[in-house]
Amino acid sequence: MGLNFIIAIMNRILALAAASLFALSLSGCADQTPTTQLYTCVNYSVEPTEFTPYCADAGQVFSDIAWSNWGKDTATGTATATTNLCDPDCVSGNFVLNDVTLVLSKPMQYEGKTVFSELSVDYAEPITEREDPETLSLVLGPIG
């Protein structure tokens, strides 16, 4: 093996290594669209299985959530809603279970995160005289 042959092999190895490093650097440039999150009154989450839209008193809790879609603009799922009707009062409570369809929408920027700001709740069996579907503005993050 002559010196020219060894130099040619080294050049090929160097070219292959450079091409590999270039390809690896491009993989880090792939579309890394931020995932829209939901503030659950405890933490930020993607596709949580449980959350409450009422951070102060947890007057309603959505559990056993099965998300059929979670995108950057909307998320859709089904859940069981446990709702405190506050009858005769909220402390004594009168809890009702209901199957619901949830739709999260209107993502907003909050402290560097993209967070859903609106929730639509469609009740299988309306339980009060509320609008059905009910539309709620969501807390975007910790208060205070």
The length of the chain in residues reads 144
Question: By the 8 A CB rule, do 119 and 36 touch?
Answer: no
Kindly tell me the number of DSSP H helices and DSSP E strands found in the chain. Answer: 1, 7
Neighbours of 37 (CB within 10 A): 23
* Residue 117, C-beta contacts closer than 8 angstroms, at least 6 positions apart: 105, 106, 107, 108, 137, 138, 140
Q: Is the pLDDT of residue 22 over 90?
A: no
The pLDDT of residue 58: 87
What does the block give as tokens for 72?
A: 């950057």
> What is residue 26's three-state secondary structure?
helix
What does the angle CA 83 – CA 97 – CA 62 come to, to the nearest 5 degrees?
60
pLDDT tens digits for range 86-100: 888 888 888 999 999
Average pLDDT over residues 102-121: 97
pLDDT tens digits for range 27-82: 444 445 559 999 999 999 999 999 999 988 889 999 999 999 999 999 999 999 99
Q: What is the pTM of this model?
A: 0.74
Q: Is the pLDDT of residue 4 over 60?
A: no
